């Protein structure tokens, strides 16, 4: 395998602290709204679909489909940036790892995995071929 | 422009100056380098660690457009070819050589599916606009150009309802056309922000110059070349060939549209009888979040 790009640690906020704490336990949390029933991404205190404050964290198995993907060639380490649509509905920006950069494509089924981040930051959610 | 016109119409001022300048080339910027856009923005922790540069954010838009509508790299390349045809007459343009579709698709891939020649230049530069009241305009002995209509909008990732096939232009465009009381077929010349070839294709669709998904076919075969196609665009060479001051293209788009309306564009690219022109810009990233602004102007 070629050397992978090192991921900077994410800044967190009070709103997202539970996400990163769970990530350190290997759990992938998303936010859903008990008012309109829809999940959203990225996690917020208020539902972006209906503005309700009744959102709750739920654990997701992290299964999804690539909505779009681009392989960055002009970089020290080639990497793939993508949008993945989760089974729960929302589409999230992510990286695709452990894949053949010449073959990775829209419509591919993918599975969540984690990558360590710099400076002892929390693991970051990325996806690999399912 | 729209804000200046509104302030003048409201009597808050009679002359407004709008400026833009920046030196990204001297400062070593590259559209391939990830950079933090607002460390305190809530989106940043979900984007920056992933290596979002400028080019790969737009490349995801291009990849989706190709997948969903069958758009090809060759069709995108026609946007650059048209810009290069115009830039050859602009002695200030960074890139003055006319290029072919084969040269664009044969240039190195930067972020798939975008090639080096699908990307705009990184340049230093600047520009300024002066907007004045009708009374002052008439005293200036210069050709009169009037704001007919304008629109502004924003688009983000919609809480996860991501749809990369359209831009904020779907709202700013119709707002501008409604205020101006004209339709896309009335536009004789269009300045369209061109950070990448795909940027132009998506925005042309959103502004109503063709159906959604048909932008690739619309720009092909020289349809954007002045004197050749149906919609002459970016006759200064645009961001793809001329300049891209401060990593932005809005002000240069308005400047060239005004030149066209005044009949002061280069004779080789001047649109005959150019009475109504449009300028449209995008700020931010089509692939994540951005603002869009549309301006329609007429020669009096
Ligand atoms: Zn809701």
Distance, in Å, from the CA atom of B173 to the CA atom of B77, rounded to the nearest integer, reads 24
Predicted local confidence at residue A1, as pLDDT: 56
Q: What is the pLDDT of residues A8-22, one digit of tens each?
A: 999 989 999 999 999
Q: What is the pLDDT of residues A46-104, one digit of tens each?
A: 999 999 999 999 999 999 999 999 999 999 999 999 999 999 999 999 999 999 999 99
Q: What is the pLDDT of residues A108-127, one digit of tens each?
A: 999 999 999 999 999 999 99
Q: How far apart are the first and last CA of chain A?
A: 18
Predicted local confidence at residue B7, as pLDDT: 96
Predicted local confidence at residue B36, as pLDDT: 73
A70 to B60: CB separation less than 8 angstroms, yes or no: yes
Report whether pLDDT(B197) > 80.
yes
- List of chain A residues whose C-beta atoms are within 8 Å of the C-beta of residue B51: 5, 7, 72, 75, 79, 81, 95
The H or E element that residue B256 is part of is helix B250-262
pLDDT band at B233 (very low <50, low <70, confident <90, very high): very high
User: Could you write out the DSSP letters of every residue in A43-70?
Assistant: --SS-TTT--S-EEEEE---EEEEEEEE
Q: What is the pLDDT of residues A19-32, one digit of tens each?
A: 999 999 999 999 99
Q: Given this structure, which CATH class describes domain A17-129?
A: mainly beta
Predicted local confidence at residue B219, as pLDDT: 98
Rounded to the nearest angstrom, the minimum Cα separation between A40 and chain B is 5
pTM: 0.96
A18 touches chain B (CB under 8 A): no
Distance, in Å, from the CA atom of B120 to the CA atom of A11, rounded to the nearest integer, reads 31
Residues of the domain holding B10: 2-299
A6 touches chain B (CB under 8 A): no
The H or E element that residue B198 is part of is helix B197-206
Predicted local confidence at residue A21, as pLDDT: 98
B298, B176 contact by CB (below 8 A) = no
Contacting A residues, span 66-125, partner chain B, CB-CB under 8 Å: 67-75, 79, 81-83, 85, 89-95, 106-107, 117, 124
Q: What is the pLDDT of residues B126-185, one digit of tens each?
A: 999 999 999 999 999 999 999 999 999 999 999 999 999 999 999 999 999 999 999 999
Number of domains in chain B: 1
Give percent of chain B with pLDDT exceeding 70: 99
Distance, in Å, from the CA atom of B84 to the CA atom of B105, rounded to the nearest integer, reads 15
Predicted local confidence at residue A2, as pLDDT: 73
Rounded to the nearest angstrom, the minimum Cα separation between A129 and chain B is 17
Q: What is the pLDDT of residues B26-69, one digit of tens each?
A: 888 888 887 776 777 889 999 999 999 999 999 999 999 999 99
**Minimal Cβ distance to A69: which of B44, B55, B60:** B60
Predicted local confidence at residue B34, as pLDDT: 79
Which sequence spans correspond to the domains of chain A? 17-129
């Amino acid at each position: 395998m070629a050397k992978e790009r090192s991921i900077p640690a994410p800044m967190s906020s009070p709103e997202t602290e539970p996400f990163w704490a769970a990530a350190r336990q290997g759990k992938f949390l998303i936010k859903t709204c008990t008012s309109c029933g829809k999940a959203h991404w990225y996690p917020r205190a208020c539902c972006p679909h209906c503005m309700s404050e009744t959102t709750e964290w739920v654990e997701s198995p992290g299964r999804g489909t690539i909505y779009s993907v681009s392989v960055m060639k002009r970089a020290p380490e080639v990497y793939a940036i993508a949008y993945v649509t989760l089974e729960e509905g929302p589409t999230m920006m992510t990286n695709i790892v452990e894949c053949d950069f010449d073959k990775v494509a829209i419509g591919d089924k993918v599975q969540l995995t984690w990558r360590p981040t710099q400076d002892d930051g929390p693991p970051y959610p990325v996806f690999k071929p399912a | 422009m729209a804000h200046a016109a509104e302030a003048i119409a409201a009597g808050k001022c009679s002359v407004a100056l709008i400026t833009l300048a920046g030196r990204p080339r001297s400062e070593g910027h590259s559209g391939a380098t990830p950079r933090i856009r607002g460390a305190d923005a809530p989106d940043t922790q979900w984007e920056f660690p992933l290596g979002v540069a400028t080019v790969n954010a737009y490349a995801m838009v291009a990849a989706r457009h190709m997948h969903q509508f069958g758009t090809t790299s060759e069709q995108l390349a026609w946007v650059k070819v048209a810009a290069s045809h115009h830039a050859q007459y602009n002695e200030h343009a960074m890139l003055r050589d006319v290029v072919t579709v084969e040269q664009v698709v044969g240039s190195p891939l930067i972020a798939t599916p975008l090639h080096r020649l699908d990307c705009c230049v990184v340049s230093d530069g600047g520009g300024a606009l002066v907007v004045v009241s009708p009374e002052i305009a008439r005293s200036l002995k210069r050709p009169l150009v009037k704001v007919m209509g304008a629109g502004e909008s924003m688009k983000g990732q919609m809480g996860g309802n991501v749809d990369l096939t359209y831009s904020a232009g779907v709202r700013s465009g119709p707002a501008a056309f409604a205020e101006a009381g004209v339709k896309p077929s009335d536009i004789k010349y269009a300045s369209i922000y061109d950070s990448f070839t795909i940027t132009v294709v998506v925005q042309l669709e959103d502004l109503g110059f063709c159906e959604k998904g048909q932008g690739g076919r619309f720009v092909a075969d020289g349809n954007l070349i002045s004197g050749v196609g149906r919609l002459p665009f970016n006759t200064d060479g645009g961001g793809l060939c001329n300049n891209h001051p401060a990593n932005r293209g809005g002000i240069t788009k308005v400047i060239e549209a005004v030149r066209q309306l005044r009949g002061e564009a280069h004779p080789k690219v001047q649109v005959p009888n150019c009475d109504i022109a449009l300028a449209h810009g995008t700020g931010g990233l089509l692939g994540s979040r951005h603002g869009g602004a549309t301006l329609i102007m007429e020669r009096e």
